[in-house]
Amino acid sequence: GENVEQHPSTLSVQEGDSAVIKCTYSDSASNYFPWYKQELGKRPQLIIDIRSNVGEKKDQRIAVTLNKTAKHFSLHITETQPEDSAVYFCAASGGSYIPTFGRGTSLIVHP
């Protein structure tokens, strides 16, 4: 089955800096890669996703890149703000339509 590794487990940045979270996956059949943000005590919410026919996608301060050859994808947050502080999860899914999630990255943005 699919295996998703996510790094780092914690990330501390100063407000205004950029943050990058990386995930690798094992199943070359995976073709959908969503990213979720989960604030403390809240439900995970989709912030951006990418499909395997695209190498990069951007939405304001958030971007995701995908390297299918290397089987890794990354979340980039620019100009971080304190409200970006949360746990971020990557996921990969393919033929089974059941996403495999990474273990999460706790992002702390210091004002």
CA distance 82 to 39: 12
Among 66, 89, 92, 107, binds another protein (CB under 8 A): 89
Q: Are strands 86-92 and 72-77 parallel, antiparallel or unpaired?
A: unpaired
User: Taking contact as CB under 8 A, which single stretch among the options 14-22, 64-72, 77-85, 86-94 is the one that binds another protein?
Assistant: 86-94
Residue 30 to residues 5, 26, 42, 79, 104: CA-CA distances in angstroms? 14, 8, 28, 30, 19
Q: Which of residues 56-85 bind another protein (CB under 8 A)?
A: none
Q: Does 24 bind another protein (CB under 8 A)?
A: no
Strand order of the sheet with strand 56-59? 4-7, 19-25, 72-77, 62-67, 56-59
Among 43, 53, 60, 70, binds another protein (CB under 8 A): 43
Among 31, 52, 65, 78, binds another protein (CB under 8 A): 31
Among 11, 13, 20, 49, binds another protein (CB under 8 A): 49
**At closest approach, how far in Å is the CB of 21 from another protein?**
13
Peptide bond into 111 cis (omega under 30): no
Q: Are 65 and 52 in contact (CB under 8 A)?
A: no
Binding site for another protein (CB under 8 A): 31-32, 34, 36, 42-46, 49, 89, 91, 93, 96-104
